[in-house]
Amino acid sequence: MKTDFSEAQLRPATGRRVRHPDGRLMAEGGESVPFNTFYRRLLDAGDLEPVPADKPTSTSKKTSSKGSDDA
């Protein structure tokens, strides 16, 4: 896997607990970390996984009653 990101949103794989180089545990929901060899190795080993990107939410749902003759 070759990417040129300077940071990545990663989280521990299901059932895994991953420590940062300084000994802190990574949050289960994921964190933004430098995409360096330490985190790449954990990603390649299956200890980390990318945090899925949020799907864009549609806030333009039509909630007005224009055109409705239900009244």
Please state, rounded to an integer, the average pLDDT across all residues of the chain: 83
Tens-place pLDDT, residues 24-41: 999 999 999 999 999 999
Tokens of 44: 């390649």
How confident is the model at residue 53, as a pLDDT? 82
The torsion region of residue 15 among left (phi > 0), alpha (psi -120 to 50) and beta comes to left
Q: Which residues contact 40 (CB under 8 A, 6 or more apart)?
A: 1
What is the edge-to-edge ordering of all strands in the sheet holding 31-34?
A: 31-34, 7-12, 48-50
* pTM exceeding 0.85: no
